């Protein structure tokens, strides 16, 4: 904990004085005496009534004073925050094969649920764009920090024919800040990331590996997520003519991730897909921001004070 006004902590030196004064007040002055027929019995009774509960109001009051002094010193706490220069493009396959139900409830619905979770859990200040692709690629939402806009766009996604992975990567590159804006960073790739999700193989457009090489040349990191299956055979929820398109080219996706200095994930369930996105969230570019915590300590001081007064009132005995 770092304090903006550390000199105010000097007031803590008064705490021992308060403790001394309190202990002194517990001992009555010598002239305050009374006559009693059995002094020993009185002394034993006095010792029995003295326990920690007797000092609870004073202890709470002391904690209130300590919290108030700490609040006066204006403490700050470290808060993790995304680097405002960092940007991520979510590149999502919306080909018809995404309606397959081998991933429950379907590949498409599992992808949308994972995207929603990823968007909500992103660090504060992270800029995100959304690119979708089928037979061609489209920038749906340019870089923004508006989570509501991104979530709304995810809700309105619809399926189409075709799979153009290479075109999708190139479209994603244009959505990211140019290398000239990131060149001074220790690792320019950490400020520009593409997360590619697909369930099929590229059937049109630019070669995906060549597009990944262009991303690498521009210092852009590319992660690849393959959802569904790599094996042949009927695919639940799809007509037979979509069977080939619904089997993603795992070797190509691995090569895209390798060339793009990213990671490759194979997922065959909604839970694994969400976990893949969560793993990528942890790799976002963070920085530390210091937020003032004075209000929290002031509130704590007030709570201790109210507890002290409440306990003291409960212990009061009126004769």
**pLDDT tens digits, 11-35:** 888 888 878 777 777 666 555 555 5
What's the structural domain count of the chain?
Answer: 2
Answer yes or no: do 121 and 266 share one domain.
yes
Identify the pLDDT of residue 318.
46
Whether the CB-CB separation of 200 and 93 falls below 8 Å is answered with yes
Distance (Å, whole) CA 211 – CA 230: 22
Token digits for 100?
């397959």
Answer yes or no: do 141 and 222 share one domain.
yes
Identify the pLDDT of residue 319.
43
* CA-wise closest residue to 280 among 240, 226, 224: 224
CB neighbours (10 Å) of residue 285?
21
Answer yes or no: do 135 and 237 share one domain.
yes
Distance (Å, whole) CA 295 – CA 267: 45
Whether the CB-CB separation of 71 and 298 falls below 8 Å is answered with yes
Residues of the chain where predicted confidence (pLDDT) is lower than 70: 26-52, 79-82, 229-234, 237, 241-246, 283-289, 315-319
Answer yes or no: do 55 and 150 share one domain.
no
Answer yes or no: do 67 and 110 share one domain.
no
Enclosing domain of residue 217: 84-284
> Domain of 208: which CATH number?
3.40.50.410
Answer yes or no: do 161 and 22 share one domain.
no
Identify the pLDDT of residue 184.
82
Answer yes or no: do 23 and 146 share one domain.
no
Whether the CB-CB separation of 75 and 292 falls below 8 Å is answered with yes
Answer yes or no: do 69 and 112 share one domain.
no
Answer yes or no: do 105 and 203 share one domain.
yes
Answer yes or no: do 197 and 239 share one domain.
yes
Answer yes or no: do 111 and 251 share one domain.
yes
Identify the pLDDT of residue 195.
93
Answer yes or no: do 165 and 112 share one domain.
yes
């Amino acid at each position: 904990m770092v304090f903006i006004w550390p000199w105010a902590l000097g007031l803590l030196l008064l705490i021992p004085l308060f403790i001394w004064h309190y202990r002194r007040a517990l001992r009555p002055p010598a002239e305050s005496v009374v006559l009693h027929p059995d002094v020993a019995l009185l002394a034993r009774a006095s010792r029995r009534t003295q326990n920690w509960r007797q000092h609870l109001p004073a202890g709470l009051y002391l904690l209130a004073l300590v919290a108030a002094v700490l609040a006066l010193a204006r403490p700050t706490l470290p808060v993790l925050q995304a680097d405002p220069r960092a940007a991520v493009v979510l590149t999502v396959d919306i080909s018809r094969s995404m309606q397959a139900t081998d991933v429950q409830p379907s590949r498409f619905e599992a992808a949308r649920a994972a995207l929603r979770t990823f968007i909500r859990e992103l660090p504060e200040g992270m800029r995100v764009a959304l690119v979708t692709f089928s037979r061609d690629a489209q920038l749906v939402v340019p870089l923004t920090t508006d989570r509501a806009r991104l979530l709304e766009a995810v809700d309105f996604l619809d399926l189409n024919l075709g799979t153009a992975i290479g075109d999708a990567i190139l479209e994603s590159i244009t959505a990211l800040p140019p290398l000239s804006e990131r060149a001074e960073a220790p690792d320019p790739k950490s400020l520009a990331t593409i997360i590619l999700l697909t369930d099929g193989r590229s059937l049109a457009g630019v070669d995906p590996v060549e597009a990944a090489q262009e991303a690498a040349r521009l210092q852009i990191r590319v992660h690849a997520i393959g959802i569904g299956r790599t094996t042949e055979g009927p695919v639940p929820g799809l007509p037979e003519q979509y069977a080939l398109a619904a089997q993603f080219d795992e070797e190509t996706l691995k090569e895209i991730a390798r060339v793009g200095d990213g990671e490759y994930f194979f997922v065959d369930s909604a839970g694994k897909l969400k976990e893949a996105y969560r793993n990528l969230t942890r790799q976002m570019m963070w920085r530390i921001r210091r937020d003032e915590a004075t209000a929290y300590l002031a509130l704590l001081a007030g709570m201790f004070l109210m507890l002290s007064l409440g306990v003291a009132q409960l212990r009061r005995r009126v004769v």
